[in-house]
A and B are shown apart, each in its own frame.
Chain A
Amino acid sequence: MEISIKRVSKDFFSEGKKIKALSNVDLTIPANQIFTLLGPSGCGKTTLLRCIVGLETPDSGEITIGEEIVWSKEKNIFVPPEKRGLSMVFQTYAIWPHMTVFDNVAYPLQTRKEPKEEIRSKVEKTLRFVQLEGFENRPATKLSGGQQQRVALARALVPEPKVILFDEPLSNLDAKLREETRKELRSFLTELKITAVYVTHDRIEALSLSDAIAVMMDGRWVEIGTPKKIYFDSDHRFVADFIGQANLISGKVAAIEDSYTIVDSSIGTIACQKSPDTSVGNGVTLCIRPEFIKVIEGEAREGSNIFRGRVESLLFVGDAYEGEIVVADTRLIVRIEPTAIVEEGDEIALSFDPDHCFVLSK
């Protein structure tokens, strides 16, 4: 089911101060996709999710889920959360401690007064699906973090909802478990073909899990796109910086050629991707990710996109070195192969493909 959000705003008042949690959000979440809201802490992700599910009422605007308007300021419509037919997985999992695993999972069906036999078979099926069969009669408190997370997921899946909302569901798991669960979650959700809205501030999680990402900042989204588009071809300085390590270089457009844009910058002349809305003389910021900068070994030729610099520091991070290289007073972060023979203080030459260097126009 598609979710459409129109001009939704929400202010909070705390200790006499007004906090704008959402300002005029316009957003359409397409059906049957994993749609992620990504952004730094406090940017309003949770608030937006809670507005969709009905735990928070916006100050203005309209929210439509499928065909049904669930909230409208002008038309004075508010459908309470229990009537919206959505499911949600909370950051704390919100497992009820006084119930068994079975009762936790059966709860959404019990609220609809479904027949007992049907409840039992559906709960069993769902528990099998999340690999928790045999745990039915465990008290919910006697579970590991990962198991609790699955109970929360099972509870969200059991009523076969059209939409599931996730608020940082993996943030309480340890790193290894988080990676495994992320993969599983992706396969569950694609198998089930439902609309999932996923909130996180973890960029790796967002990139690996989503069909589309909306990057949020200060109560608004600034860019929406597929993970690849967001990572490789963002238009926004903020987004490019937030989604991964980035070298941001400012300069001025010197020429626009057939296939590349030529920019004069502090490290020299750079050839980079074409961007539709720049013209000669514009000030621009370029973005180049550390993993695309290559160290040229041996005798370096002169040529385009080749720069000379000095190795300021080298940090061994396991699968690579993270090097800081100073090129004409500008510091670049570069990922260097662990096999490369480089030492701190060396003078080296760097190069990168113009296709991997993109212009941030906003």
Chain B
Amino acid sequence: MLNTRTALTPSLIAIVGFLTVCPVVMLVFGSFSEGIGAFGTFTLEKYIESYTDPEFANIIVNTVIFTIGSAFVATLLALFLAYLNTRTNIPFKFLFRIISIIPMMIPHILFSVSWVLLLNPSNGLINLFLRQILSLENSPFNIYTLGGMILVEGLLDLPIAYLILAPAMAAFDVSLEESSKVSGASNLRTLTRVTLPVLRPAILASFILVIVRSLASFAVPSIIGMPGRIYVLATHIYRIIATGFAADFGMAAAVGMSALAASITLIYLYRYLTSESEKYVTISSRGYRPALIELKNAKYPLFGIVALLSFVLIVLPVLVLFYTSLVPYSMVPSAKAFSMMSGKHWLQVLKDPISLLSLKNSVFLGIVGASLGVILSIFVSYVIVKVRTPAAGVLESLSFLSFSFPGIVIGVGFMWFFVRTPLYATIWSLLIGYIATYLPYGIRPLTSAFIQIHSHLEESSRVCGGGTLYTLRRIIIPLLIPGVVSGWILMATMFVRELTLSVVLSRPGTEVLAVQILRFAEDGLWGKLSALGIMMIFISSTLVVIASLIGTKLTKVEEESR
């Protein structure tokens, strides 16, 4: 018993270390190698080649504008919502919880597609509609621009920004504002001169986190950027390995290194800022609710904006996809359109062997991958929470290492590894990559579950006469089940929709849903795409429901077996 316990931490460090360090190390070595077949040869050739490319400067400029622009959109919107929710008497506050959680459940690729379906210049629904009623020659909107990318990415990252800003806003020391108002300043002046400056660390933290996320984002740059020939780092890497005649993984690695370096710097900055802002909050937080600002006439117009945002973030994407999957070609909703609706696209998808294969692969990856990932997470969380040696601290840092790095870069790193193993081009290479990248999704809920199991709960069962196995069955496992279920749900939904790693690692035969959706988008097959997208949402939701049901069932069984 003692031996297995002492061996647990090192073996976990080995497994997790392999999963998260391997792609990074392989990426570094790969970037200095002559080619994917010539690993370990030292050359600067790939760096010179990729960084002297005249287009590279352009890509960097695009990347900077795209990431910073998205950060502005997301942070400003989040500030607006957080302020309304925590500090004013706006009605229907439950909407804010929905806005902050539900959009995470819609796959980014489908969200991006829905905006293309609405705003693309040739047949976007909103464009068609405006042209019809205003009798315009040209479409008023074009989503395939940097502005379009920024808008969609900003909306996608809004929940993250909100989850950082809302608690900071709620913990804000109101007496600072009150003293400003006592000295005669208006609400608006107080906001700009007192509230926002005090919240600066949290605002900056949110800003930087959104930059990290949008730097790692692939869905928006590929679905919206590429058709408009606007390339950022992620899509540039993708272009190097996935289009043209010869994929050059050396160059991809060399370019990936700058994305990696940028991420690491930003994450470091983020950690620094959050520790700063936490200091701030603990000093000023107090135990009473501030008086809410009376919105008066602005109340319902402001609420209208919030309602519109929720509609745009949650309802619209699904609605547009569903509609598009049923009509034969893009047309404005009308009596004619409804009369022409059919299940044609659905049938086509269900007869398409590659789509079927991708469905099968994604379901397999979701179920098997999440199960294996959760098992690993259980052991890792156990060590992090209950063993707590310095080695356990190492394990914790390792598990979160590659989480915020751009997925496509991690994918390229893994590629350098997998081509050297029999795993290359198998479904297992995707599975390993997924678990490595999304391990924190399993670890977070399980560490909270383990923290909840105070050692006294276990010990008191022993004293009451329960042996080790009895205690495990009746106390430990039942208390872990909620953590296991939410870890499994998070991982499974991420795996079913996974795009960024998959575009690198998936080969013919190992297509997955998101990659197949990207192919449909590249070919402009919107109807089939939408049908497959809805199926993807359906599969995720089914897995969520099944997992919750099993969780409830297991808890019940424990009660009956007493």
Which A residues fall within an 8 A CB radius of B?
Answer: 53-55, 80-88, 90-92, 94, 96-99, 103, 106-108, 110-112, 155, 159
Contact = CB atoms under 8 A, between A and B. Distances in A.
17 contacts: A81-B459, A82-B465, A83-B465, A84-B463, A86-B463, A87-B463, A87-B464, A90-B459, A90-B460, A92-B454, A94-B454, A97-B452, A98-B478, A107-B464, A107-B466, A155-B460, A159-B464
B462 interface: yes
B467 interface: yes
A81 B463 contact: yes
B559 A111 contact: no
A109 to B, nearest CB: 9
Nearest to A86: B463
Given A92-B454, A92-B456, A159 B462 contact: no
Nearest to B481: A98
DSSP majority for the B interface? helix
Contacts of A80: 462, 467
Given A55-B463, A111-B466, A103 B559 contact: yes
Nearest to A98: B478
Interface in B463-513: 463-467, 470, 474-475, 478-479
B50 interface: no
B459 to A, nearest CB: 5
A140 to B, nearest CB: 11
Task: With a 10 A CB-CB cut-off, give which of B452, B465, B467, B478 has the most chain A CB atoms.
Answer: B465
Contacts, number: 67
**A interface majority secondary structure:** loop
B368 interface: no
B464 A155 contact: yes
Contact of A108 (B465, B478, B562): B465
B475 A96 contact: yes
Contacts of B475: 96
A98 B124 CA distance: 52
B88 interface: no
A111 B469 CA distance: 11
A108 B464 contact: yes
Nearest to A92: B456
Contacts of A94: 454, 456-457, 459-460
B310 interface: no
A99 B562 CA distance: 11
Contact of A88 (B454, B457, B463, B467): B463
Nearest to A84: B463
A355 B230 CA distance: 97
B426 interface: no
Contacts of A99: 559
Contacts of B559: 99, 103
A110 B562 contact: yes
B461 interface: yes
Contact of A111 (B457, B465, B478, B555): B465
Nearest to B479: A98
A96 B453 CA distance: 9
Contacts of B562: 103, 106, 110
Most A CB contacts (10 A, CB to CB) among B454, B464, B470 go to B464
Contact of B462 (A81, A103, A110, A155): A81
